[in-house]
Amino acid sequence: MLVYKFGGASVRSAEGIKNIVKIVSGIKEDLFIVVSAMGKTTNALEDVQAAFMKADREGALSKLSEVETYHKQIIKELFADEANGNTAFKSVFDELKSLIETGLGDDYDRWYDQIVSYGEIISTMIVGAYLTECGLCNKWLDMRKLLITDSNFREANVNVFESEKRFKEVVRFDDCKIYIGQGFIGSNIQGRPTTLGREGSDYSAAVVGNILDAESVTIWKDVPGVLNADPRIFEKTVHIPELTYLDAVELAYSGAQVIHPKTIKPLENKQIPLYVRPFNTPTEAGSVIKSEIAKPIGVPVLILKKNQVLFTLRPLDFSFILEESLSWIFMVVEKYRLKVSLIQSSAVSISICVNNSRYLQRAFDELSTDYRVSYNKDLELLTIRGTNPEIIKETTTGREILVQQRTRRIARFVMREKTIK
């Protein structure tokens, strides 16, 4: 069996959904489709939740009605008889509305997952109904009942053992050859909805592939495959046809947005190849990620991670940074779920580069009991893999560099934000 994942950009319009039908209708194998929320729906639902948490129910409902209008327009363009698209859609939308009208909104992260997870519920319902309309038998699954996670709301980790038991009970491919489920969402063992972290649908697809022993997992994207740099940021990009799992992990961890960092492990564990293929030109091969490749990546790979914050800690009592102080610092980092991109230390200070986050100030407050905390915001981290002096010159000349780290193979620069061209 195969797993196909379609991201938000692929399902952002009626045209995109029609293209999914084209792509899947020729498939002979059993197929599990994982779908993200349509277009920018997750961002929009984040706004709905933010208003809801401030007890601004009016504001939340008005933002929600924009989400509704957007989906209704797609339904209108897609279905010959709108009622076919609207039936299921209306009932879930009413459910979400009544949550906003009556919910308590006590715990931020838990309510985030409760509300934001509807984006994928709605998108899969529409895609499933449209596949049916096109004569493609498919079975819609609620991943909140199948993909079991821990209770780390907004960044939940999948419990593969529990999930596998549930998947094996329902996913048999005996009634239909196509099953469709949501990316990004699951639930904890008590049945409370959870999400796997922004852009987490890739991770969902990988877990499904692992559990169902897929022949391969394919992520359909709006790029020609894996490139050596983000074409929106760097000129002269080169297509990379083959990568190892290790290459992919390094790229994703450094901030390459082509795949979510958690995607590789479930696939590597079962040696399942991952294809990244162009949604708009589906006959092209794209890229493949697997354990053995014919020849290593021959070009430098550039990855730019934006919205970074670099903070430096100096002990108030002028003591050295020793193991025990390090372990406390990282306990605080973990407690506030900061995502570390780079670390540099000296005898009396440590600098840590992290993704900007809403918990940063709280972490700083806690650390400031023992350290003088200074920080810079609006930074970017450039990672060059397969580095050489020319490429460093090309990308960093004229830039203010706050920290740099180099090995023979990899060079990393923390710089003030500016788009490189």
Tell me which residues touch Mg ion (CB under 5 A): 8, 36
Q: Does 261 bind ligand ASP (CB under 6 A)?
A: no
Q: Helices in 255-374 by DSSP H: which ranges?
A: 264-269, 323-335, 360-367
Both tokens assigned to 192: 């409370």
Q: Which of 286, 266, 215 is nearest to 29 (CA)?
A: 215
Task: Report how far apart the first and last C-alpha atoms of the chain are (Å, whole number).
Answer: 43
Q: Which residue in 16, 85, 105, 119 binds ligand ASP (CB under 6 A)?
A: 119
Q: Which residue in 17, 24, 35, 37 binds ligand ASP (CB under 6 A)?
A: 37
Q: Does 49 bind ligand ASP (CB under 6 A)?
A: no
Between CA 276 and CA 297 the distance in angstroms is 16
Q: How far is the CB of 183 from Mg ion (least distance, A)?
A: 8
Q: Does 42 bind ligand ASP (CB under 6 A)?
A: yes
Q: How far is the CB of 282 from ligand ASP (least distance, A)?
A: 20
Q: How far is the CB of 180 from ligand ASP (least distance, A)?
A: 15
Question: Are 391 and 302 contacting, i.e. CB atoms less than 8 angstroms apart?
Answer: yes
Q: How far is the CB of 207 from ligand ASP (least distance, A)?
A: 13
CB-based burial, 11-41: b 16+ in 10 Å, e otherwise? bbbbebbebbbebbeeeeebbbbbbbbbbeb
Q: How far is the CB of 280 from ligand ASP (least distance, A)?
A: 18
Q: Does 155 bind ligand ASP (CB under 6 A)?
A: no
Our measurement of the distance from residue 148's CA atom to the centroid of its chain's CA atoms, rounded to an integer in Å, reads: 18
Residue with tokens 């709301």: 153
**Based on CB atoms, which residue is closest to ligand ASP, 266 or 300?**
266
Q: Does 117 bind ligand ASP (CB under 6 A)?
A: no
Both tokens assigned to 36: 């993200």
Residue number with the shortest CB distance to ligand ASP? Answer: 201
Burial class of 193 by CB neighbour count within 10 A (0 to 12, 13 to 18, 19+): buried
Q: Does 3 bind ligand ASP (CB under 6 A)?
A: no
Q: Does 8 bind ligand ASP (CB under 6 A)?
A: yes
Which residues are bridge partners to 2 per DSSP? 31, 216
Q: How far is the CB of 257 from ligand ASP (least distance, A)?
A: 11
Which helix (H) or strand (E) element contains residue 130? helix 118-133
Q: Which residue in 10, 36, 114, 395 binds ligand ASP (CB under 6 A)?
A: 36
Question: Are 138 and 176 contacting, i.e. CB atoms less than 8 angstroms apart?
Answer: yes
Q: Choose among ligand ASP, Mg ion, none what residue 119 binds, the Cβ cut-off being 5 to 8 Å by kind.
A: ligand ASP
Fill in the per-residue mask, 187 to 206: x = in contact with ligand ASP (CB under 6 A), - = not in contact.
-----------xxxx-----
Q: Choose among ligand ASP, Mg ion, none what residue 184 binds, the Cβ cut-off being 5 to 8 Å by kind.
A: ligand ASP
Which helix (H) or strand (E) element contains residue 354? strand 350-355
- Applying CB under 6 A, the residues found at the interface with ligand ASP are 7-8, 36-37, 42, 119, 183-184, 198-201
